[in-house]
Amino acid sequence: MTKIFQGLKPESVWNHFEEICRIPRPSKFEKGMIEYVVNFAVKNKLEHIVDEVGNVIIRKPATPGMENRMGVILQGHLDMVPQKNKDVDHDFEKDSIKPRIEGEWVKATGTTLGSDNGIGVATALAVLEAEDLQHGPVEALFTIDEETGMTGAFGLKPGLLKGDILMNLDSEDEGELFIGCAGGTNANAVFKYEEVDVPSNCSAFHIAVKGLKGGHSGVDISLGRGNSNKILFRFLWLASNKYGLRLADVDGGSLRNAIPRESFANVVIPDKNVEAVKKEIQEFEKTVKKELSAVEPDLSVTMEPAEMPAKLIDELTEDNLICAVYACPNYVIRMSNEMPGLVETSSNLAIVKSGDKEIKVHCLLRSSVDSAKEDLKNMMSCVFDLAGAEIYFDGEYPGWKPNPDSPILNEMKTVYEKMYGKIPKVVAIHAGLECGLIGGVYPNLDMISFGPTIRFPHSPDEMVNIETVKKFWDYLVETLKNIPAKK
């Protein structure tokens, strides 16, 4: 079989990543990946454990003469975000990812690539199988279901890990060391509706907002990209108030941790207002495209004739839904005062979907300040309570408080400066890393996160920079060689 990544360095990392791309692994469907890493451990005669939730731990002894070094845990997650373009036929539970090389980058064909966190997992496996590295005791912790709730990290029990230092391999900017992250929670609103008859003298249409870039709802939230749900409901509010548009169903977004790229609604419009609405949506598209021209060049808002729906959402619920979604907090809420350029608090209006006489709205709220996260939850409650919806919060996970005096941080700054002649940037990230949860179970761990350069994770534009994978590997290898002895 021809190797797609033949010739790329380090060869062992790319070989594992190519194998990982062949294994379907959307969140909650990691069975194939668990089998892959367990078989790897057996093949390489390494001690391994599969815990009760499906996390895999693999241990490798120290190389001769380094047995007294502090133990290092290399940590990554086995799942990936399943996002694809609408015109791509791909079943993430059955089909392989189709990676390709495009210049300095590796991308996928019409889907997410899964370099988040496939490259981190591949790198840990390459360390475990290498016979020419110098290192103290090494463990690899491969967690499940990071992307849809961190249930693997939530389920991790005390006493399983033996190491002293945890290196999370799930960051996305080479040359940056991450020492903190935001906490998060899901906001879920549910509208109950009655089905009502379609009025006479109406025509049916399908409204589509498409062509947006999407992206990671934390890392990319500050880029000002369009949110297809917000755009759709902006138009629905206009057309329902001005022209009597009525809503049959809505389907916007698909994942809570991805900025929604596509949203759709089936509607009916009084025949007397059809031509006016056609002109209105053309003007609306021009307006929104102008507002977002710098970041969303392929945005489209269209309205096409559709089959007449059997029923509509009752008018009161429709009005409440449209107003609530239109008013729902979204994007960056506040920037950090302590770390310039870092988003402190944000909300992503991720999913709006109707069916079975319910409309469900899902948002992901993030903040590095607990009180600000609570304040944002209160805002959400106010909006949806006023609209008559049931709102509840779940999936809450803690942030990771930065420790600027971390010994591994100081060691890795020194190693990077010796290798590359400059000091790496020390930052926190507006995204959820598993360090916060793992640190809650293992409070004595000294933790850090780093990785190669990955752009636009959680979207079909996801790509990983080839050169930085090599730098990431070399930096990790040199760091492992310089881990200090236990005191």
How far is it, in rounded angstroms, from Cα 256 to Cα 216?
10
Task: Based on the residue annotation, tell me whether 296 is a catalytic residue of this protein.
Answer: no
Residue 62 to residues 39, 96, 409, 472, Cα–Cα distance (Å)? 21, 35, 22, 21
How far is it, in rounded angstroms, from Cα 355 to Cα 252?
12
How far is it, in rounded angstroms, from Cα 24 to Cα 79?
9
Residue located via tokens 């004595």:
444
> CA gyration radius for the chain?
24
How far is it, in rounded angstroms, from Cα 226 to Cα 349?
11
31-43 and 115-129 helices cross at what angle (nearest 10)?
Answer: 10
115-129 and 11-21 helices cross at what angle (nearest 10)?
Answer: 130
Residue 173 to residues 9, 297, 391, Cα–Cα distance (Å)? 18, 25, 36
Cα 317 versus chain centre, distance: 31
Task: Based on the residue annotation, tell me whether 358 is a catalytic residue of this protein.
Answer: no
Residue 180 to residues 142, 312, 314, 486, Cα–Cα distance (Å)? 20, 47, 46, 25
- The token pair at 27 is 């969140």
Other beta carbons within 10 angstroms of residue 126's beta carbon come to: 21
How far is it, in rounded angstroms, from Cα 293 to Cα 360?
30
Residue 357 to residues 143, 265, 353, 384, Cα–Cα distance (Å)? 36, 15, 11, 17
The alpha-helical segments, DSSP class H, found in 244-328 are: 274-291, 315-327
How far is it, in rounded angstroms, from Cα 79 to Cα 305?
39
Among 18, 79, 139, 344, the one annotated catalytic: 79
Cβ neighbours of residue 417 closer than 8 Å, sequence gap 6 or more: 423, 424
Among 18, 116, 146, 462, the one annotated catalytic: 146
* Neighbour-count burial of 137, counting CB atoms closer than 10 A to its CB (0-12 exposed, 13-18 middle, 19+ buried): buried
Residue 385 to residues 328, 344, 378, 389, 394, Cα–Cα distance (Å)? 12, 25, 10, 6, 17
CB 233 within 8 A of CB 273: no
CB 348 within 8 A of CB 257: yes
Strand partners, 84: 111
Q: Which residues are catalytic?
A: 79, 146
